[in-house]
């Protein structure tokens, strides 16, 4: 029998994405029922990728302004991240191939899915699809930088993997998705 009943949704904002309030009956593990309220932000799902070059022993990361981090403790709000984007109508693999070209100017054909995970399960419905992909010099087709039409302003960083790992260990990389994939590369020795 379900421990969740009478789920009621109240829309709070659909200004850009959707913020809703939910009330529901929840049966606790001791059998009693309570009526919690939760706010949930829905903006679809996402995909991100660690691009690596086994000849040069480099990875591609990006730097862009992230307002929420600027509001909370980050020094300047410019975060070092993996290329990533929101799934539009496409599937995760098509999405990450498209975002890779838009954000860093690399036209990649094959990517490998390594993980799937909820970004912030207490508040967001979003699930992230994590990929890795090997790139070579001949795949570089533009400077990247993101879509001007969406006001994206992305700096592309091509770094030795050892430098990315140093930045990870010294707290200069603070985006969880980027931490996950750099650690994946270490564990699986992608650049040894
Ligand atoms: N006007 C307006 N535009 C917005 C707003 N929120 C997002 N956008 C636009 O939507 C674009 C989304 O760009 P994507 O590259 O598709 O997504 P992303 O912001 O990089 O998100 C990725 O990283 C997030 C983690 O920080 C992930 O949550 C997400 O799934 C994805 O992987 C932004 O550049 C911006 O133009 C908003 O509130 N107002
Ligand atoms: Mg993006």
* pLDDT tens column, 55-108: 999 999 999 999 999 999 889 999 999 999 999 888 999 999 999 999 999 999
ipTM: 0.93
Torsion of CA 110, 97, 173, 190, to 10 degrees: 0
pLDDT surpassing 90 at residue 33: yes
3 vs 81: CA distance, rounded Å? 38
Q: Does residue 48 line the site of ligand 1, with CB under 6 A?
A: yes
pLDDT tens column, 100-140: 999 999 999 999 999 999 999 999 999 999 999 999 999 99
CATH superfamily assigned to domain 46-187: Nucleoside Triphosphate Pyrophosphohydrolase (3.90.79.10)
Q: Alpha-carbon distance 74 to 22, whole Å?
A: 31
Which pTM was predicted?
Answer: 0.95
Helix (H) or strand (E) holding 99: helix 92-104
Cβ atoms of residues 149 and 66 within 8 Å: no
Ligand 1, from 85, 151, 155: best to mutate by most atoms within 8 Å of Cβ? Answer: 85
Distance from the alpha carbon of residue 120 to the mean position of ligand 1, in angstroms: 15
Report pLDDT digits (tens) over 6-15.
Answer: 999 999 999 9
Radius of gyration of the chain measured on its C-alpha atoms: 19
């Amino acid at each position: 029998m379900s421990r969740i009943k009478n789920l009621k949704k109240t829309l709070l904002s659909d200004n850009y994405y959707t913020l809703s309030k939910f009330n529901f009956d929840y049966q606790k593990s001791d059998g009693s029922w309570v009526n919690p309220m939760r706010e949930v932000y829905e903006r679809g799902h996402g995909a991100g990728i660690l691009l690596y070059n086994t000849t040069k022993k480099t990875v591609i990361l990006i730097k862009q302004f992230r307002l929420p981090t600027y509001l909370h403790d980050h020094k300047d709000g410019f975060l070092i991240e993996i290329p990533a984007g929101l799934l539009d109508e496409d599937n995760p693999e098509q999405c990450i191939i498209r975002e890779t070209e838009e954000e860093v100017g690399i036209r990649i054909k094959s990517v490998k899915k390594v993980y799937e995970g909820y970004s912030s399960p207490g508040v967001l419905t979003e699930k992230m699809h994590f990929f890795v992909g090997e790139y070579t010099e001949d795949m570089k087709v533009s400077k990247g930088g993101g879509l001007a039409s969406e006001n994206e302003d992305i700096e592309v960083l091509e770094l030795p993997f050892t430098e990315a790992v140093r930045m990870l260990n010294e707290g200069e990389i603070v985006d969880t998705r980027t931490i996950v994939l750099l650690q994946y590369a270490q564990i699986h020795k992608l650049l040894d």
